[in-house]
Amino acid sequence: MTGEAFIRLIRERRTVYDFKPDPVPRPVLEQALEAAVWAPNHGLSEPWRFHVPGMKTRAVLAQIYARLRADKRCEPDTDAWRQTYEKALQRFLAVPGMVLVGQQLAEDPLQREEDAAAVACAIQNFQLAMWAQEVGVQWSTGPVIRAVETYELLGIEPKKEKLVALLYYGYPACVGRSRRSDWREKTRWLD
């Protein structure tokens, strides 16, 4: 791949919200995880952790997701709550694949900050590697990753690891648009 093609890949990657139902083959996911771990990380702390839920785990995650969504939008014990819950459940279950990303929590606050940056780099590597294989990703930081039930389900000790992202992925049904300000507006050249 030329430098120009690589820069185009970066520019053209979009967050994807609507996926085709087709499953993404496991080797495609494995390639993206392999790219993720080549992210820069200070002191080779390798703070990223990836949790790939199978269908059983996903079914429980879907319930957590749907309950949080319905609780946020509707009064409990109402038809509206039940409708919102059911819709959210189906929406979550329809996503072809997902990975939860955790950050191993260092004792030192500066190391923690730097590890958070490294995990974000890993996530972007993941997104780009998926995009290079025609797979779209939505990086979500919704309430599911903060729910106690999610930690229990995944067997994560909250003092040792923080969930920082839920990455939904699949072949895009449609790709939206995005925009950026010109880099010149964000750049100062100093003497």
Closer CB to ligand FMN, 57 or 140, in the complex: 140
Rounded-to-integer distance, Cα 174 and Cα 191, Å: 46
Closer CB to ligand FMN, 73 or 82, in the complex: 73
Residue 88, helix vs strand vs coil: helix
Shortest spacing between CB 120 and ligand FMN, in angstroms: 7
Half-sphere exposure of residue 118: CA atoms within 13 angstroms, side-chain side: 24
Half-sphere exposure of residue 90: CA atoms within 13 angstroms, side-chain side: 5
Closer CB to ligand FMN, 41 or 138, in the complex: 138
Closer CB to ligand FMN, 15 or 57, in the complex: 15
* Beta strands at 136-140 and 172-174: parallel, antiparallel or unpaired: unpaired
Question: Which residues touch 141 (CB under 8 Å, ≥6 apart)?
Answer: 164, 165, 166
Shortest spacing between CB 77 and ligand FMN, in angstroms: 28
Shortest spacing between CB 11 and ligand FMN, in angstroms: 9
Shortest spacing between CB 90 and ligand FMN, in angstroms: 18
Shortest spacing between CB 166 and ligand FMN, in angstroms: 8
Q: Which residues bind ligand FMN (CB under 6 A)?
A: 14-15, 138-142, 178
Hey, what amino acid is at 107? E
Tokens 């319930």 — which residue? 63
Closer CB to ligand FMN, 75 or 185, in the complex: 185
Rounded-to-integer distance, Cα 187 and Cα 77, Å: 53
